[in-house]
A and B are shown apart, each in its own frame.
Chain A
């Protein structure tokens, strides 16, 4: 199993519903976030284009954050989901430094927190909260190793990119372009 997400930048409107759905689903303290939305504007008026991206932990296949964790709090679950076990985390911040995507943050309670792909929902067969709420349905979540999954299909039929592949982390959030 290899869980991954594909996000269609052509449909995303940057509404940030994914961010607030995550916040209420996972009780992320206000002022922090596990996912966020960026806008990149290119060109000169009137030839301007923008790209909107909902970003989060890439659940990298080659995850430096897990490697550098001195206690094993950061670890990989079935399906490639990268998690932090709170009561093993000492809050040294190494994993925060190690992540090229600034996807982790230090929770006010001390441990390091990040996107969990809503593993508690996924295990029940639901989609992550952000995917389930997105009004534009621009996010696809599923198992890349399943040849019939929606995400496998969408990646087969569309052009896509990942973020900073040169960082060598093998990120598993794909952006349809």
Chain B
């Protein structure tokens, strides 16, 4: 029998026996970041494609959520910091190798952009809106004029943001469950899927809903493919990765992962959407809420489970 123990009674809060230094704040931050990235991506995409008219919710209504999600996300991140008074130190330097650093900077860039985007549509969204100051009115004209430019910037930044939510985790070599390059694309797709679902919910146009629904279905399929890839890759990996993924394959996260993330978060809403496409009436809110909850749950599980996994020596 092999036995391993601390002789010196080590029992550090949040570190022993399992690392648990990141709590709810980080998954919430990742979820909101992914959601905002998804929404902004579609807004920008349809603008670039010149489909503003056909996709009013994606381009105009849903982006209101983006700055709110980003600010709430940043606030969650702030809550996670243990030395809060030194928060500003984040913005005194750019550290290319630190995902945490460039995530902070990307957010710094995309949050005001998303606000500008919303501002440029505010008159269409809120009838009778008046900027009151001439300067602001001029500025509005300016941003409306350069909307397409904004769209290009946003589409690039939103993809970076979406990937970043995964890379923040996958950069940690020390946590075998996170240490896979698939996590960036996976989180990007998952974020887009939550974004698409949100647009779906807010859309009033039948056409738009149909398009978004197909897109969402496609994203779900890609996501399932990526997750399969993740699991297979881990299983074929080193011992620590095999141990890591076994948390989902019989380990302590098996039920929550398969039931809440895969079945209720992906497969079931996908089926509902297909059924709806086949002409049955399903209240749209059901698949949407399931997708959103599934996405949130996925991040909670990944953060929680990943922290437990470690190198053995």
Contact = CB atoms under 8 A, between A and B. Distances in A.
A89 B84 CA distance: 9
Tier of interface size on chain B = 35 or more
B12 A92 contact: no
Interface of B: 1-16, 19, 21-22, 77, 80-87, 89-90, 92-93, 95, 97-101, 104, 171-175, 238, 307, 310-313
> Shortest 9 CB-CB distances between A and B: which pairs?
A91-B82, A91-B83, A110-B83, A70-B101, A100-B174, A70-B100, A41-B3, A16-B8, A36-B10
Contacts, number: 154
A33 B15 CA distance: 11
A57 interface: no
Contacts of A70: 90, 95, 98, 100-101, 104
Contacts of B1: 41, 44
Tier of interface size on chain A = 35 or more
Nearest to B82: A91
B171 A68 contact: yes
Contacts of B80: 92-93
| Interface of chain B, main secondary structure | loop
A155 interface: no
A97 B307 contact: yes
Given A70-B95, A96-B21, A90 B89 contact: yes
Given A70-B90, A110-B83, A93 B10 contact: no
A167 B173 contact: yes
27 contacts: A14-B7, A16-B7, A37-B6, A38-B4, A40-B3, A40-B4, A41-B3, A44-B1, A68-B100, A69-B95, A69-B100, A71-B89, A71-B93, A88-B89, A89-B86, A89-B89, A90-B82, A90-B87, A90-B89, A92-B100, A97-B19, A97-B22, A97-B175, A100-B174, A106-B13, A110-B82, A169-B173
